[in-house]
C-alpha cells in the first residue's frame, strides 16, 4: 500500500494505516477506544483474504486466518479524493485477529499522493444527525432493552444503508441489508418471492414499515448475528419516533415528486 509497507511479515502498521484506522475508531467513544487499545498491541501478520490492501492484524507468532469466512464489519469510513474514493473497513475481532481493508475504488493501489475533498465515517454519527455519506435525513427507530439500554436503528434511503447505534458503548455498527430484510419479511409473513427476495424493497416500501416492524426485525436479526448486547425483549420507543417518522415520510414523499 506504500508509505512504509512491505511484504515482510510480521510488521508494524505503517503511519498512514495507523492514522486512518484511528480516525475510523475515534478515541472519544468508549467502544472504539477499547478496539484501538487492542489494535495497539497487534502487528500486521500478513495479507488478508481479499489480497492487496487487505491486512490481518494479530499477535506476533500467530498465522493469519485466510480460510474462515470474513467477519462482520465493525467500523467503516471513506475518504473522497481527486483520484477516487478510499475506503477503510475494520472488521470484528475474531480469535484475536482483525481484518482491515484499505483500498482505492478506482485503482489497484491507494495512491501515495492525492487531494482530499471530504471524509466521512459512521463512527462519528449521533442520533439526530444526517447521514454521514449523503448528508440527508435518516429514519431513526429508537429502541430499548429490558435492562434499559438504548439503541437507535438508522436507515438511509438514498444510500440504502442501515446501522445501529449503541448509546452505552457509543458505537455505530453497520447492518447488512439483505439479512435484515429477510427477518423483516418473516416478521411480516410476506412469502411472495418477488417481494420477499428483493431486499431493495426495504427502501422502496420504507414508509409502509412501522417502527415496531423494524424493531422486531432487528431483534430477531440480532439474535442470529449479534450487533448489540440485548438480553430479553427489545421494545420500540414509539413516542420518540412518532414526530420524526411523520417528518421523514413527508420529506421522502416530496423528494419523489420533484
Q: Is 189 strand, coil or helix?
A: coil
Q: Where are the beta strands (DSSP E) in the chain?
A: 43-48, 51-58, 73-81, 84-91, 98-104, 116-121, 139-145, 150-156, 161-166, 171-174, 234-236
**For residue 161, is pLDDT > 60?**
yes
Tell me if 87 sits within 8 A of 102, measured CB to CB: yes
Rounded mean pLDDT, 131-142: 97
pLDDT of 127 higher than 80: yes
Strand 139-145 and strand 150-156: pairing? antiparallel
* Global pTM value: 0.87
Instruction: Please give the C-alpha separations between residue 222 and each of 10, 145, 153, 239, in angstroms, as whole numbers.
Output: 35, 12, 12, 23
Residues 55-94 pLDDT 10s: 999 999 999 999 999 999 999 999 999 999 999 999 999 9
Amino acid at each position: 500500500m506504500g508509505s512504509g509497507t512491505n511484504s515482510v511479515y510480521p510488521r508494524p502498521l505503517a503511519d498512514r494505516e495507523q492514522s486512518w484506522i484511528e480516525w475510523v475508531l475515534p478515541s472519544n467513544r468508549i467502544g472504539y477506544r477499547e478496539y484501538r487499545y487492542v489494535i495497539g498491541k497487534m502487528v500486521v501478520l500478513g495479507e488478508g483474504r481479499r489480497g492487496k490492501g487487505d491486512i490481518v492484524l494479530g499477535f506476533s507468532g500467530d498465522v493469519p486466518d485466510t480460510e474462515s469466512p470474513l467477519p462482520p464489519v465493525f467500523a467503516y469510513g471513506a475518504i473522497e479524493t481527486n483520484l477516487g474514493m478510499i475506503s477503510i473497513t475494520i472488521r470484528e475481532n475474531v480469535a484475536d485477529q482483525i481484518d482491515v481493508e484499505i483500498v482505492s475504488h478506482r485503482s489497484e493501489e491507494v495512491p501515495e499522493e492525492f487531494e482530499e475533498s471530504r471524509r466521512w465515517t459512521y463512527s462519528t454519527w449521533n442520533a439526530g444527525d444526517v447521514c454521514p455519506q449523503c448528508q440527508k435525513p435518516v429514519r431513526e427507530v429508537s429502541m430499548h432493552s429490558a435492562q434499559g439500554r438504548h439503541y437507535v436503528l438508522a436507515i438511509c434511503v438514498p444510500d440504502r444503508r442501515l446501522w445501529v447505534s449503541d448509546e452505552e458503548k457509543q458505537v455505530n455498527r453497520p447492518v447488512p441489508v439483505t439479512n435484515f430484510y429477510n427477518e423483516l419479511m418473516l416478521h411480516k409473513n410476506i412469502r411472495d418471492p418477488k417481494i420477499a427476495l428483493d431486499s431493495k424493497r426495504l427502501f422502496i416500501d420504507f414508509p409502509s414499515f412501522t417502527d415496531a416492524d423494524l424493531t422486531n426485525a432487528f431483534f430477531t436479526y440480532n439474535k442470529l448475528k449479534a450487533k448489540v448486547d440485548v438480553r430479553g425483549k427489545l421494545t420500540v420507543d414509539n413516542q420518540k419516533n412518532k414526530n420524526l417518522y411523520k417528518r421523514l415520510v413527508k420529506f421522502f414523499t416530496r423528494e419523489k415528486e420533484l
